[in-house]
Amino acid sequence: MAKRYVCVICGHVHDEAVEGKWETLPTDFECPDCGCGMEDYEIQD
């Protein structure tokens, strides 16, 4: 099931259903809006 991850800095949402599985993103992934890393995202329930 696709999950949604939210950037805690700017609120950008990464939707797995649209942009692909979180686990498959490159480790140097950056938020497209604020440039923070994956560690600044939280899973949205």
Interface contacts to Zn ion, rule CB under 5 A: 7, 9-10, 12, 31, 33-34
**CB 8, min distance to Zn ion, A:** 8
For Zn ion, the closer CB: 9 or 25: 9
In angstroms, the CA 41 to CA 29 distance is 11
Instruction: Using DSSP bridges, classify how beta strands 13-15 and 4-7 pair: parallel, antiparallel or unpaired.
Output: antiparallel
**CB 37, min distance to Zn ion, A:** 10
**CB 41, min distance to Zn ion, A:** 8
Token pair, residue 4, equals 């949604």
